[in-house]
Amino acid sequence: MKVLAAMSGGVDSAVAAARVVEAGHEVVGVHLALSRNPTTLRAGARGCCTIEDAGDARRAADVLGIPFYVWDLAERFERDVIDDFVAEYEAGRTPNPCVRCNEKIKFSALLDKAVALGFDAVATGHYAQVLPGPDGPELHRSADPAKDQSYVLSVLSPEQLTRAIFPLGDTPKDQVRVEAAERGLRVAAKPDSHDICFISDGDTQGWLAQRLGERPGPLVDTDGEVLGSHTGAYGFTVGQRKGLAIGTPAADGKPRYVLSIEPVSNTVVVGQLADLEISRITGGRVGWCAPVPAVGEQVGVQVRAHGAEVPARVVAVSAAEVEVELLTPVRGVATGQTLTLYTGSRVLGASTITGTA
């Protein structure tokens, strides 16, 4: 097969590329340039997108002896990921840009271009498994549960999965680093990337404030009583406790949390921890990469990238929406996040959370 290996400059994608090369495929390495002005994204080598990362990716490709190109997808990234990220926060939701990037950039813009140029598949360093099933490829959690990234890939369609290769899905991270060192890849000890790649200092609130400006509004409790003010509702996430400038403590002396964000009235509603607990989730933008679960079926759901899976029952399902009842209530579920449904280790599909109760 002709395989395009997406190479971020990190250890995972380098070892993933190495494994595809060793499996005997014809491999070309591609680094995605996601910013027109690369140094603005990140100051240090903390993840993707710096000139240093591009250099690391190129160096790894040279060691593997494969051709290497940088493809400029900055415009698509700006439009499909960054603009969407800002718009979602502005609308009072909490987006997941990594999910969006996989859906719109890596397995759409990049994959489409690769296929058009004659490639059969795209390989990445994600920790997830594509396993053959009776009706085509199935997406499963990785063997290393601590590194599992099936959540951020759960938006992929069955067609996208047929062209996706995740060579690291069956391997623990430690072993990947050992393999990198054995292969002479200089990135073997490079630290993992954690936060959002286009916010270099990790200060999402500050980054948003720079883009959206100050928009002062009230902080209220569940009875509508004004407790204080904020400089922009977009800077808050459901479940957040820190950074609430409330002058007077609560009557019960307990800490308060963001319960909801109402973008139209620019209001942030706060309340007690217990108020954050929810047991129903509704989602829009539904996509399945497995047979659609029936109403009443018990599934596992995950609502954030590093969250635990909880048992749930499908209450309603249509082409446009899905609703689940959680058998174990969870706290602090923000709209805009991805709701991923599992059966065992298999991903059934994903949906964008539109409401909770």
Partner 1 sequence: MLPLAVAAMVEELPQAGNASSLHTSGRRARRVVEEARELLAASFGAGPSEVVLTAGGTEADNLAVKGLYWARRSADPARRRIVVGATEHHAVLDPVEWLVEHEGAEVVWVPVDAAGQIDLAALDEALEDDPASVALVSVMWANNEVGTVQPVAEVVDRAHARGIPVHTDAVQAAGQLPVDFAAVGVDALTISGHKFGGPVGAGALLARRGLDLVPLLHGGGQERGIRSGTLDVASIRAFAVAAEQAVSGRPEESLRLAGLRDRLVAAVRSEVPDAVLRGASTAERDGTFDRLPGNAHFTFPGCEGDSLLYLLDAQGVECSTGSACQAGVPQPSHVLLAMGVPEPVARGALRFSLGHTSTDADVEALARAIGPAVGRARGAGLTSSTPTGSMKVKEVAP
Contact 350, 341 (CB under 8 A): yes
In the region spanning residues 4 to 43, those forming contacts with partner 1, defined by CB under 8 A, are: 28, 31, 33, 36, 38
Instruction: For residues 110 and 74, give the distance between their C-alpha atoms in angstroms, rounded to a whole number.
Output: 12
Respond yes or no: is residue 289 known to be catalytic.
no
Which one of residues 117, 131, 245, 308 is an interface residue with partner 1 (CB under 8 A)? 117
Please list the residues that pair with 24 across neighbouring strands: none
Give alpha helix (H) positions in the chain: 11-22, 51-64, 74-77, 83-90, 97-101, 111-116, 150-153, 158-162, 173-182, 204-212
76 binds partner 1 (CB under 8 A): yes
**Rounded to the nearest whole angstrom, what is the least distance from the CB of residue 69 to partner 1 in the complex?**
6
DSSP letters spanning 317-356: E-SS-EEEEEEEEEE-PPTTSEEEEEETTEEEEEEEEEEE
Which one of residues 44, 116, 225, 248 is an interface residue with partner 1 (CB under 8 A)? 116
Respond yes or no: is residue 48 known to be catalytic.
no
Which one of residues 22, 62, 75, 192 is an interface residue with partner 1 (CB under 8 A)? 75
Amino acid at site 323: E
The residue annotated as part of the active site, out of 48, 49, 98, 101, is 101
In the region spanning residues 284 to 343, those forming contacts with partner 1, defined by CB under 8 A, are: none
Stretch that binds partner 1, among 64-72, 145-153, 214-222, 277-285 (CB under 8 A): 64-72
Contact 55, 44 (CB under 8 A): no
Nearer Cβ to partner 1, position 115 or 246? 115
Which one of residues 58, 280, 285, 313 is an interface residue with partner 1 (CB under 8 A)? 58
Q: What secondary structure, in 3-state letters, does 231-263 show?
A: CCHHHCCCCCCCCCCECCCCCCCCCCEEEEEEC
Instruction: For residues 337 and 315, give the distance between their C-alpha atoms in angstroms, rounded to a whole number.
Output: 19
**Rounded to the nearest whole angstrom, what is the least distance from the CB of residue 160 to partner 1 in the complex?**
17
**Rounded to the nearest whole angstrom, what is the least distance from the CB of residue 51 to partner 1 in the complex?**
5
Which one of residues 3, 18, 73, 314 is an interface residue with partner 1 (CB under 8 A)? 73
Residues that bind partner 1 (CB under 8 A): 28, 31, 33, 36, 38, 51, 54, 58, 67, 69-76, 109, 112-113, 116-118
